[in-house]
Structure 1
Amino acid sequence: MIPVVVVGAGPVGLSAALGLRARGLPVVVLEADPQDRERPGSRALFVHRETLALLDAMLPGLAAEITAYGRTWQTKRTLYRGREVYARTFPPPSGPPPFTSLRQVDTERFLRAACERAGVEFVWDAQVTDVRTTAHGVSLTCADGRRWSCGYAVAADGARSAVRRGLGIAMDGVEGEGFHVVVDVADVPGAELPLERVFHYEHPGVGGRSVMRVPFTGGFQVDLQCRDDDAQEEYGTEEAVRRWLPAVVGEAGGEGYGERILWVSTYRFLRKVAASFTDRYGRVLLAGEAAHLFPPFGARGMNSGVADAAAAADAVATGTKEAVARFAEVRRAAALFNSSAAGTALDHLRPRRRIVRVKQRAAAALAPVLPWCGSWLEHAPYGPRHGAPAVAGRKY
């Protein structure tokens, strides 16, 4: 019997495997996709300081590798209807940066290489279709009939987790109305945009829709907030993006970026949390999107998933049902906090109450004389960061 199987070779599964190897446990990772799979799109950009610390504890030096490749900026700007209401430039950090920004495909590349160095075994084209648990272990069956028996399994197989479904664990939550368009754009050589994160409330160049621009290594990401009655073909296709993208980057010269589009996708604000993060025997531990779904705003998804992975590795290494139960309790509390925080952010980003829109307009008007008003407009779209007592003050 294999001690531990990790299902899913995304950033969360790779982190779980690396954490388990750091504790001396043999690990097999089952991944449904082939080894040469292509993973388009950024999905997650920010790897935050807490996450970097967790990864470095699994493999010393890994955080420095990721940080050296990613981009960290010191300037943040917020505008309201084209007028700047907040701008701040921080000094370069003297120690580990608060975050680094790189496409998820690159984060996975670093994590996979780290896992290979640590001796993690990968099995590709291994789509798990059935899971059974007992007090003594886990049995996993793949689509091609292969079966795996293990003492524990970490399910990191994403939002459509076959493991979670096989265990009959429900996902509870809500889906926000309207949609966002997310676009990865490569830099134009010699005409790179300033190294800063910019958020526009009601950008006049895109019909009063809010938009955020974030740099990553080799380019930048644009997140456009569409209205409830917008049609996806008008804003969410590559052809449509080519029409509105120049207005978004026009302040720095929008020409040429329409031909530098790497990836276009749409998403809705999903906020869902699994009813339990483990099975009744404490043999399967859910992590990442197998356990919770958060919107990209606030960078809660992958960062909380890596925290899940680290906690799962600790619980499995301890090897008791009580340790797994504690993992499930603490990480579910963190997920519920993050879901609530994302809901707070959504109420600000897509205000349903007139009073919220009035407060935003008033804050924008007063920002030149009351800087805290601009600071509120800057921070509100991301939701609160601290306040989950069950996770000892951690962000995620």
Structure 2
Amino acid sequence: MSGDTTAAPVLIAGAGPVGMTTALALHARGVEATILEAESEDRDRSGSRAIYVHGSTLRTLERIHPGLGTDLVDEGLVWPTRRTLYQGKEVFSRTYDSPGGSGDIPHFTSVPQVVTEAYMHDALEGAGIDIHWNAEVEIVDSSPDGVHVETSDGREWDGEFLVGADGGGSTVRKEIGANFEGDQSENAFIIADIEDEQIDGDQPDLERIFHYDAPEADGRNVLLVPFTGGWRLDIQCIEGDDPEELSSEDRMREFVCDIMGNEYEDDLKWVSSYYFLQVMADTFVDEHRRVLLAGEAAHLLAPFGARGMNSGVADADEAASAIAAAIDARTDAVVREEVELYAARREKAAEYNLDAAGQALEYLQGEDPVTVLRKEAAASLADHFEIAGEWLDDAPYGPHGTPPIVSTGNY
């Protein structure tokens, strides 16, 4: 072991929303942490990415750092109208008088992830929590007594615990021998940001629009969601599509004009295409119960229902709770029990979220004859039965509800 090894109670790999939430949640529980981030401080964070922040996430952030949740509420917006069209015909529309509910924390807020991260950075600075940039975790050695980490900047670190929040390509996950298991979406999806500086939370006519088989997009499914400063445009590719060609700037400008109007032609700011993975690690902890995986290091989900970052924040808060209890424990058995309870709870939550997102993904891209007939029947009945239109409006996001609470699992 090098004489230059730095000691910290808890090490966190990754300075994304999950890693930063973990550090803030630990600080709120009286445990200090150090964040190790692979990229530089000026890294590219373009794209709106996780724009839909659940009310439960906002409440968690407000609890662990008072003011953080309400700051995001102030920056974000709550769109009041849900609208759905089927092959160009409106089949459902509902406007809520109080779409966010009552109280300081609404049911959700729509805000770009870069804004969420900026407020988290401010919270870390206020709490005196350091991020070590250009410090990619390369080696993880855990033992019953703690964790030894080596980073790409040549430094070595010792901690009682390590939280791997280093994303889908997690080195921490690989170092503890955990493996991803699951599937990939059949079709690609194209995601674009369209700037609209006129959008703010005071506009009563904002709406989330879902198009089944949109004529404007040559029969592709389209989702349009407002957020502070712009619109998120999601286009589902169909069989035979070349995602690279469709996501080219010229082709996307055509989509924007056809779907949103010519006035938005020059407002395209960011485009990306994805095949969504539906995977989770076969274990969320190492054999010594000193390393905990959280967020995309532990699971990758299709985005329907906005379960990605939101479930990662829940992982982070529960990881912090487990670690805080384990650090104060006086027996090794209690240390193991706290960490294993974290794994049991969050693995069960990941299974639930994978299943929920998977149902939505299958509904959107599947060619099951029964599902196709149900969509067609609901569309034909929507003029006469609101429940049929509401089913079409709701189904693309998967089932509602929250993951079950468990006290035991595979440990």
Q: TM-score, normalised by structure 2?
A: 0.92
Q: Contact between 1:137 and 1:150, CA under 8 Å: does it hold in 2?
A: yes
Q: Secondary structure at the match of 2:262?
A: coil
- 1:91, distance to aligned residue in structure 2 (A): 1.7
CA distance in 2, matches of 1:268, 1:231: 12
Q: Contact between 1:130 and 1:140, CA under 8 Å: does it hold in 2?
A: yes
Matched with 2:370 is 355
CA distance in 1, matches of 2:173, 2:276: 21
Mark the CA change 1:391 to 1:110 in structure 2 (over 3 Å): closer, same or farther.
farther
Q: Contact between 1:51 and 1:306, CA under 8 Å: does it hold in 2?
A: yes
Matched with 2:232 is 221
**Amino-acid identity (%):** 44
Please show how residues 113-124 of structure 1 align to structure 2 within 5 Å: 113-124=122-133
Matched with 1:283 is 290
Match of 2:305 among 298, 305, 323: 298
Is 1:35 the equivalent of 2:41? Answer: yes
Is 1:75 the equivalent of 2:90? Answer: no
CA distance in 2, matches of 1:23, 1:247: 51
CA distance in 2, matches of 1:387, 1:18: 23
Match of 2:241 among 230, 235, 240: 230
Matched with 1:317 is 324
Q: Contact between 1:128 and 1:141, CA under 8 Å: does it hold in 2?
A: yes
- 1:108, distance to aligned residue in structure 2 (A): 0.5
Q: Contact between 2:199 and 2:227, CA under 8 Å: does it hold in 1?
A: no
CA distance in 2, matches of 1:314, 1:189: 41
Match of 2:190 among 178, 181, 204: 181
Output the amino acid matched with 2:170: S
CA-atom RMSD, angstroms?
1.6
Matched with 2:267 is 260
Shifted more, 324-333 versus 231-240: the winner is: 231-240
Which ranges in structure 2 are unaligned for 5 or more consecutive residues? 1-6, 327-334
Is 1:196 the equivalent of 2:202? Answer: no
Output the amino acid matched with 1:56: E
Q: Secondary structure at the match of 1:390?
A: coil
CA distance in 2, matches of 1:29, 1:368: 54
Q: Secondary structure at the match of 1:375?
A: helix
Match of 1:327 among 325, 333, 342: 342
Mark the CA change 1:153 to 1:260 in structure 2 (over 3 Å): closer, same or farther.
same
Output the amino acid matched with 1:158: G
Matched with 1:7 is 13
Output the amino acid matched with 1:310: D
Q: Contact between 1:334 and 1:391, CA under 8 Å: does it hold in 2?
A: no
Q: Contact between 1:179 and 1:228, CA under 8 Å: does it hold in 2?
A: no
Mark the CA change 1:87 to 1:271 in structure 2 (over 3 Å): closer, same or farther.
same
Matched with 2:158 is 149
Q: Contact between 1:77 and 1:199, CA under 8 Å: does it hold in 2?
A: yes
Q: Contact between 1:188 and 1:257, CA under 8 Å: does it hold in 2?
A: no
CA distance in 1, matches of 2:341, 2:80: 38
Output the amino acid matched with 1:356: T
Which ranges in structure 1 are unaligned for 5 or more consecutive residues? none
- 1:35, distance to aligned residue in structure 2 (A): 1.3
Matched with 2:259 is 248
CA distance in 2, matches of 1:189, 1:59: 30
Mark the CA change 1:247 to 1:16 in structure 2 (over 3 Å): closer, same or farther.
same
CA distance in 1, matches of 2:36, 2:403: 32
- 1:145, distance to aligned residue in structure 2 (A): 1.9
Match of 1:137 among 132, 142, 146: 146
Q: Contact between 1:153 and 1:285, CA under 8 Å: does it hold in 2?
A: yes
Matched with 2:173 is 164
Q: TM-score, normalised by structure 1?
A: 0.95
- 1:389, distance to aligned residue in structure 2 (A): 2.4
CA distance in 1, matches of 2:144, 2:79: 49
Q: Contact between 1:188 and 1:256, CA under 8 Å: does it hold in 2?
A: no
- 1:376, distance to aligned residue in structure 2 (A): 0.7
